[in-house]
Structure 1
Amino acid sequence: MTIAVPRLRGTGERPRTAEKLPVAAPSPTTRLRALDGLRLLAALMVAAYHYGGRGGDITKAWGTSPRHLFPSLSEWFAYGCLGVQIFFVISGFVICMSGWGRPLRSFFASRVARLYPAYWAAILIVTLVFALPWVAYKTVAPSELIVNFTMLQQPIGVHRVLGVCWTLWAELRFYVLFAVCVVLPGATRRRVVMFCAVWTLAAAITSAVNEPFLTTVFMPEYASFFIGGVGLYLLHRDRRDITAWGIVAVSWAIGQHYAVLSTWHKPNPAFFSFRHTSVIIAIVTFGFVMVGAIALGHFHWANWRWLTVAGALTYPFYLVHEHLGWVVIGVLHRNLGIPAPATFALTVAGMLLLAWLLNRYVENLLTPRLRKALTRVL
């Protein structure tokens, strides 16, 4: 194949064709290691919420309400659920980055290979642990377990093995929208901008008409976080892109509203905790600002290798920490009498260790093989 080369100015000579010139291999994209650290921070926020910022099953694990065990911290742990919104902003950035210039088959193979191996392992581990006779938590029916392996249990209405998998259902819908609208026709700045604009408008209309089908497709409660992350990737490519700044600003404005709408309530003793509106807005703003600062290169100095490890542990940790954490907390605190702060720290450390094992012996082994197999088949 001959690559056309323009005439050199000022010499009057035509250059040789590219067949006769050495072609340098494209340089690999620099890994944004600070983004890995932010991803783990968001996962730890969610873990703090699940272990000490809510009631329900975690009260059963501790043997009492976390408010009694962490009287000053439980109020702050309750804000940890907003780590999910930060996850969605990061996801918008990463998916736009990984899908840019990639054919649909490669994008599909990479997403499936990234999501499913650790997810399947987490499903099996949680199911087996919950089936132990001394573990007082219910397991799902065999038919429901099989559906859970598809990651489509949420729309089908099947009981979930993993409590956090509702966020994966949101991620899957975002992947499909981005794949159909951007990756399939080919990613360009104009196409990505149109994708953000049309999705923002569609989500707003969906909120107005309250149509279940449109709500499922356009996800008005979460769309602005994904769109904001996509806009931040456009700024990563060109910080002078005024349109991208506008996408981010509108997404932040809409996103903070939905975050307040979903996590704020009037003071009520029937609720576990009361979240202040200003703190909710501040945490959402923190997520946008941090991803933006990383996108604009302000954290290039944070180039430590352990951040890459932190990023690799985030997904398996997120999958296993909630339900398995209940079991570990019950054993350490109620059965062995270990104080609550030490139990909290040991549970987080144990879940990180399990995440490392899943990353090393499941993801590192299965992900490249599954990606290669899917790419070959497609």
Structure 2
Amino acid sequence: MEEQHRLRVLDGLRAVAILLVIGYHYFVRWTPPLSEANLYPYGDLGAHFWLFEYGDFGVELFFIISGFVISMTLFRCRSIGHFFWKRFSRLFPTMLICSLLTFAVLHALPQNAFSPQWRDFLPSLTFTDPLLWSKAFGTPFKAVDGAYWSLFVEVKFYLWVSIIYFTFGAQRFFRAFAWLFGALVLAYLGMRALDFPHLWGIDFVFALSSLPWFVAGIGFYALYADADSRIGRVLLVEAVVALATLQLGLRAGTVWPLIVIGLSYAVFLAFLFRPRWVAWLGYRPLAAVGVASYSLYLLHQSIGVAILDMVRQHFGTESSAASALLAPLLAVAMILASLAVYRLWEVPAKNALLSWAAGRRSASAAVDQPVREAP
């Protein structure tokens, strides 16, 4: 029960992350200068409130959590195939239903803010960057919802971290990852100092601009597994140094990435060593939002902003507190929808896929078992 409660704190942290992202998308992302046109009926009201203005860092908080959780998952997997099947069972069914829902709702609503095409399902359902499809077919591709970009980054991380884990083994995983990550950062910095061309390719292949956040999560899991882990501390230091030196993120040249990682470190260190300080994150309603945060992340942006834009077109732009109430009401509606998707689709679909794979393994084991002859 202690273990379950502590991990429920992570669900609460997921809820904080997704609420930050929703605040950013409903108050900041779709108004100038980030957007050519303002799509909010309340104008830029709230756009300069720091909690909304920097709410996009909720994605980086997700990356830290992912580094922690994926490390835990790897230590419970028998093979790289087992790992990816678990990830597929967790991610694909929900991506399928949420992208279909988003596509259907956007085409049913009388709106013109977002217009996904059928071809946009290709990058979305394969968790691959639309740029690859655009280059391959010579026509522009995008995701069904622009928020999916972080899932494409996640899958790159899954690929590299799983290769390292199953190549070096559980005993040497943390040390190998620390060495390889440090070598990658040093190589990148060296090539940048020598003015090598096409450095963006390294960032694209290794998701280097986001990788330090995942590395922090791996470091925290190393400390979770062993509170005295020196390599866990090394990983945490590497993540901070990489963020300070690479400066590849959306807030390059500012101190905000370091402020956010400082706050994240404080929360995670409390989670590890002073759990009572963050026990409030395990509050069941908050943790429930975190549990359904994946479907909420996939659903909230395009549908929500399209509805806000419809209201704006009908009533005009008015920077008033009354119209700004639409954002939290819409967020609540998105939360309820995501909870329904989680309960009625995400969990049953995941369990069905995992059970099917377990059944196939059992059947294969039974076939391979030698038949004993009767005496």
The worse-fitting range, judged by mean Cα deviation, of 122-131 and 278-287 is 278-287
Q: Is structure 2 residue 338 aligned with structure 1 residue 355? A: yes
Q: 2:23 matched to which residue of 1?
A: 48
Match for residue 131 of structure 1 among 90, 107, 110: 107
Indicate whether 1:244 and 2:232 are aligned.
Answer: yes
Task: Give the 3-state SS of the residue equivalent to 1:152 in structure 2.
Answer: coil
Which residue number corresponds to residue 8 of structure 1?
none
Match of 1:23 in 2: none
Q: Percent identity?
A: 22
Contact 1:103 1:183 survives alignment (8 Å) = no
Matched with 1:171 is: 154
Query: Structure 1 residues 352 and 258 mapped into 2: Cα distance closer, same or farther (>3 Å)?
Result: farther
Find the residue that maps to 2:142 and give its secondary structure: coil
Query: CA–CA distance in 2 between the matches of 1:280 and 1:32?
Result: 25
Higher relative contact order (CA 8 A, sep 6+): 2
Question: TM (normalized to structure 1)?
Answer: 0.80
CA 1:101–1:123 in 2, change beyond 3 Å: closer, same or farther?
Answer: closer
The aligned amino acid for 2:104 is: L
Give the corresponding residue for 1:108: 84
Structure 1 equivalent of residue 94 of structure 2: 118
Cα 1:44–1:260 change in 2 (3 A) is farther
Structure 1 equivalent of residue 175 of structure 2: 193
Report deviation, 1:346.
0.4
2:227 counterpart letter in structure 1: R
Aligned 8 A contact 2:27 2:47 in 1: no
SS at match of 1:45: helix
Does the 8 A contact of 1:89 with 1:291 survive in 2?
Answer: no
Q: Which amino acid aligns with 2:355?
A: K
After superposing on structure 2, the runs of 4+ consecutive aligned residues of structure 1 that deviate more than 6 Å are none
Of 170-179 and 294-303, deviating more is: 294-303
Q: In structure 2, do the counterparts of structure 1 residues 172 and 113 end up closer, same or farther at CA, with 3 Å as the change threshold?
A: same
Aligned counterpart in structure 1 of residue 58 of structure 2, from 83, 103, 114:
83
Which deviates the most, 237-246 or 256-265? 256-265
Counterparts of 1:318 and 1:133 in 2: how far apart (Å)?
20
**Corresponding letter in the other structure for 1:118:** T
Q: 1:372 aligns with which of 341, 355, 358?
A: 355
1:62 aligns to 2:40 (yes or no) = yes
- TM-score, normalised relative to structure 2: 0.80
User: C-alpha separation between the residues in 1 aligned to 2:95 and 2:304?
Assistant: 16
Distance 1:182 1:327, change over 3 A: same
Unaligned regions of 5+ residues in structure 2, if any? 135-140, 192-197, 362-375
* Matched pairs, number: 337
Cα 1:171/1:219, change in 2 over 3 Å = same
1:168-220 Cα offsets, whole Å, 9 max, x none, are 111001111111110465322x2222113212321442354354443333222
**Higher Cα Rg, which structure:** 1
CA drift at 1:63 = 4.5
What is the letter of the counterpart of residue 240 of structure 1?
D
C-alpha separation in 2, matches of 1:197 and 1:319: 34
122 and 129 in structure 1: CA distance in 2 versus 1, 3 angstrom threshold: same
Partner of 2:265: 288
Any stretches of 5+ residues in structure 1 without a counterpart?
1-26, 266-276
Matched, 1:311 2:287: no
Question: Which residue identity is paired with 2:85?
Answer: A
Please tell me whether the aligned partners of residues 17 and 58 of structure 2 are also in contact (alpha carbons under 8 angstroms): yes
Equivalences for 1:19-30 in 2 at 5 Å? 30=4
Corresponding residue for 1:326? 305
Structure 1's 58 and 355: CA in aligned 2 closer, same or farther, altered over 3 A? farther
